Chains A and B, each alone.
Chain A
Amino acid sequence: MSKKPTKSKRTAENEEKKLVPIYIMGKRYEVPASLTIQKALEHAGYLLIRGCGCRGGICGACGTVFRYPASYRIEVGLACQTVVQPDMYIAQIPFFPGNKAVYDIEKLEPTGAVLGALYPEIFKCVGCGTCTRSCPMDIDVMGYVSKAIQGDLTAVADNSFDCVMCGLCSARCPAEEVQYNVAILARRLYARYLAPRAVHLDKAVEDIKKKRFDKPLQELKSLALEELKKRYKALEIEPDIADEFWVPKDKTCVFED
């Protein structure tokens, strides 16, 4: 909690460091204005255990809700990505007990009906759009939920791709949906069954099963250092601007068939 220095001293300090007041779970602290919410918590004296992960906006550990004084609206963001504002009221939601369906991806049919079967609550969506407004990744969450209701796996997969699974959408959903778990199910089904397969993987794996590289690799492993360096230096480099159909001139260890 903030101390009580004399007014003039505090003002001087604020001027110098540009301190702003914030309220962490209702308690007042003064923190440098340039900090993210995450760093502000640490500046206030917290050693974070929950609610802190990659510190770079991708892991979804630090979902945070806040409100500005002049507004009734609850806003949300990732603590590691959101810069503090004066008089902000802050609370974190480091864990959300959302339901996750257990399934065997190999036994599922890649149809839109699967989403509704495993997560029947998607049909309870009231279309309020709070999820979309709550998404720190600017994903149109309600948009993909409506695609999920329609059974369009491809659209759900594409439109939810940036999801960091922070759970803020679920936390605020009046229909108690677990949007992020519906989304990852759709993405896995899409990538497993609907996206065209990478057939070139079959040949690459087949060549390895046939042990076609065992001898060339054995040879490389036995080379004297200087000879190995020579081979490395002599490598033909695929040009940056080469298109997908580029093939090397040197075919020392390329098995095209």
Chain B
Amino acid sequence: MPYTPELKELIKRVEKTRPVRVEKKRRGEEFPAMSLKEREDILKYHPDFKEEGRTEILVGPNKGYRIAREMVAILHAKSRLDPDAVDLSQVDYETDVLVIGGGGAGTSAALLAVQNGMKAVIATKLRLGDANTMMAEGGIQAATKSEKDSPYYHYLDVMGGGHFKNDPELVETLVVEAPKVMAWLEKLGAMFSKFEDGRLKTMHGGGTCRKRMHYAGDITGAEIMRTLRDEAKNHPDDIKVLEFSPAVELILNDKGACAGAVLFNLETEEYLVIKAKATVLATGGSGRLHIQGFMTTNHYGATGDGLVLGYRAGVPLKFLHAVQYHPTGAVFPEQAEGLLITEKVRGAGANILNIEGEQFVYEREPRDVESSAIIRECLERKKGVPTPTGKYGIWLDSPMIDFLKGEGTVRKEFPGKWILFHRYGIDITKEPMLIYPTLHYQNGGLEIKNNCETKVPGLFVAGEVSGGVHGENRLMGNSLLDVVVFGRIAGCSAAEYVHNKFKDGSLSLDHVRRYHRALADAHIVLDSRVSPMILPDYSNPEVRKKQLTTKYLGTLR
């Protein structure tokens, strides 16, 4: 849907202020960045600080921890399984390393496990590569340009972005491994954007002191993911991929170590037992829980399954109170709602503007600060742009980029976004985009050490489902880095564990029984809800009312 006449009228105000803003940008004059104090103050507009949005966890290792209601709801639910109904003596698959999740972290883990002599199985909910990694657009940070940058500066940026609360050991690992990851990806044949002499192109992201964000057009995550997926499929004898088979529960053994998982075949609805010597949990994030009703940029499968599995097995949670809202999600047209507009658009020079076409925030504040400023501009200062669906948005002035960097830059640097808006009759080289913060990233998750091990022996965790490396707020370009760095490490650590520490034992789901008892002891009123959620339900509630015998056909009930 093209812009309505009302919106087109409002765009004129943006066009009016544009020449002056372009000139300012050319001179290097930016809207003043906030001081640390100002940043702290504005965060009260952030959804994380809405007390009514949170509630207390009543069971498990983080009893008393207050996090988003939607997350607590899946932790306060019963398992999908009746532990007594599963026959653990019937093992359907057996492998060295089980990787749960087929995104960037899981696929990297499988590749490195195999490189270290393992046989691996990737069990994934949808297809291999169907993950948030695929959707990450902006880039991947790494201090690869020694004449101006080093892991030292990268470290400071990561800590500053995370409000200095990050786990320092994890951060050190992240920034030190970063250049190695870039070298690995280049060698695998990922097609990064380069200068003619081969030097990697880099840009700023929010909260970076150096331009260290490498990219592949505006589909960096897709390029990394499709390369990793292709590589994984080149090892058919060593990596078995089970698609549409999400894990619904971890299996422990009588020694308390992780010994595999119960998988659910989404099509045949069978529950299958997979026994593994080591397990890597890499299930990604939870945007599809739609915390506080926010729209999300996340993948269809991002329902926080790994949090539930890990927590029931006894792994504590960290930083889960901090949820990331990406400052720029599309809010128009309706069909594109929630869709990520990469931060790179701001990095390339586009201003953020209110209904008057005025700037009100520096474009490269850390994401939580930038989002808070946008929410304040709309809700408190009432200077948001009203959309036809009754929401508010803020302009992201993409046409500035061609003025600043030459005609054709937008089409070349943002081909994915250009074609998408073009389909809806909007030319982002001539018209600004309408955006609003959108639920983007789970900053926290399961507690890990820097070799990805957890409190549960034989269980390794990597990627968005883990917590600690980003503290309370992740910077752009550090999630793609996170998944590859820690995915690789998890694969190595799992292999090392199998070689040196693994001891066989009898399989058990006692931890699930214990968890169920704890739910009962905490007097949690259990509705019919089970978790993990597996898929969000967007089907029509009117239709659902009439689905009286969901799924069952035939005569036997």
Contacts and interface: CB of A to CB of B under 8 A. Distances in A.
B196 interface: yes
A143 interface: no
A102 B301 CA distance: 28
Contacts of B25: 240-241
Contacts of B262: none
Contact of A184 (B168, B230, B423): B230
A217 B176 contact: yes
Nearest to B388: A34
Interface string A187-216: 111111001111111111101100001001
- Majority SS of interface residues in chain A? loop
A235 interface: yes
B300 to A, nearest CB: 5
B508 interface: no
A36 B336 CA distance: 9
28 contacts: A39-B538, A45-B540, A47-B539, A48-B538, A49-B535, A53-B126, A54-B130, A56-B135, A57-B416, A59-B299, A102-B236, A105-B231, A162-B415, A184-B230, A188-B189, A192-B187, A198-B192, A200-B145, A201-B200, A204-B182, A208-B176, A217-B152, A221-B168, A221-B169, A232-B164, A238-B204, A240-B28, A253-B150
Given A192-B187, A253-B150, A198 B199 contact: yes
Interface string A88-108: 000000000000101111000
B244 interface: yes
Interface in B90-131: 126-127, 129-130
Contacts of A202: 183
Interface of A: 34-36, 39, 42-50, 52-59, 61, 81, 83, 100, 102-105, 137-138, 157, 161-162, 164-165, 184-185, 187-192, 195-205, 207-208, 213, 216-217, 220-221, 225, 228-229, 231-233, 235-242, 244, 246-248, 252-256
B146 interface: yes
Nearest to A202: B183
B148 interface: yes
Interface residues of B, number: 93
B144 A56 contact: no
Contacts of A204: 142-146, 179, 182
Nearest to B415: A162
Nearest to A241: B28
Interface string B13-43: 0000000000001101010000010000000
Interface string B132-160: 00110000001111111111110111011
Interface string B423-434: 100000000000
Nearest to B236: A102
Contacts of A49: 244, 266-267, 535
Nearest to B267: A49
Contacts of A198: 144, 182, 186, 192, 194, 198-200
Given A238-B148, A252-B152, A44 B540 contact: yes
Contacts of A196: 194, 196-198
Nearest to A103: B234
B291 interface: no
B236 A189 contact: no
Given A44-B540, A53-B126, A220 B156 contact: yes
A103 B236 CA distance: 10
B179 A45 contact: no
A244 B28 contact: no
Closest 5 CB pairs of A and B: A196-B198, A188-B189, A45-B543, A253-B152, A192-B189
B155 A255 contact: no
A240 B30 contact: yes
Interface string B201-229: 00010000111000001010010001100
B159 A105 contact: no
B419 interface: yes
Contacts of B217: 161-162
A190 B186 CA distance: 11
A86 B25 CA distance: 47
A183 B516 CA distance: 50
A237 B362 CA distance: 14
Q: Choose among A54, A103, A138, A217 the residue with the greatest number of B CB atoms under 10 Å from its CB.
A: A54
Contacts of B146: 200, 203-204, 207, 254-256
A137 B25 CA distance: 33
Contacts of B209: 235-238
B28 A197 contact: no
B199 A200 contact: yes
A235 B198 contact: no
A47 B145 contact: no
Contacts of A225: 164
Given A53-B130, A56-B340, A240-B204, A162 B159 contact: no
B16 to A, nearest CB: 23
B180 interface: yes
B535 to A, nearest CB: 7
B182 A201 contact: yes
B172 interface: yes
B1 A247 contact: no
Nearest to A246: B148
A93 to B, nearest CB: 13
A59 to B, nearest CB: 5
B21 to A, nearest CB: 13
